[in-house]
Structure 1
Amino acid sequence: MSWVLAEDVIASWIGADAPDNPALVQTWIDRAEREVRFRVPDIQARIDAEQPPGELRERTRDVVIAMVLRTLRNPEGVRKITIVTGPFRETRTYPEGVPLGLVPSSDELAKLTGTGVSA
Structure 2
Amino acid sequence: MSSWTDPQDVLDAWIGEGAPTDITSIQNWIDRAERMIRRTVTDLQERIDAEAEAEPPSAELLETARDVTVAMVVRVFRNPDGTRQVNTTTTTGPFSDTRSATFGGEIPGGLGMTDKELGSLQGATEGAFSINLIPTTSPFHPDSVRAPFEVW
TM above 0.5, one fold?
A: yes
Higher relative contact order (CA 8 A, sep 6+): 1
| C-alpha distance in structure 1 between counterparts of 2:5 and 2:119, whole Å | 19
**How far off its partner does 1:12 sit?**
1.3
Q: Within 5 A, what are the aligned runs for 1:37-76?
A: 37-50=38-51, 51=54, 52-76=57-81
Partner residue of 2:118 out of 105, 109, 116: 109
TM-score when scaled to structure 1? Answer: 0.81
User: Structure 2 regions of 5+ residues with no counterpart?
Assistant: 91-100, 128-152
| C-alpha distance in structure 1 between counterparts of 2:88 and 2:39, whole Å | 39
Q: What letter is aligned with 1:35?
A: M
What CA deviation, in whole Å up to 9, does each residue of 1:56-112 have, x standing for no partner?
A: 000000000000001110134434323579xxxxxx9663xx232111110000010
TM-score when scaled to structure 2? Answer: 0.65
- 1:99 match: 106
In the alignment of these two chains, the number of paired residues is 111
**How far off its partner does 1:116 sit?**
2.8
User: Structure 1 regions of 5+ residues with no counterpart?
Assistant: 86-91
- Give the SS at the match of 1:115: coil
What CA deviation, in whole Å up to 9, does each residue of 1:7-53 have, x standing for no partner?
A: 11112111112111100000000000000001101100000001332
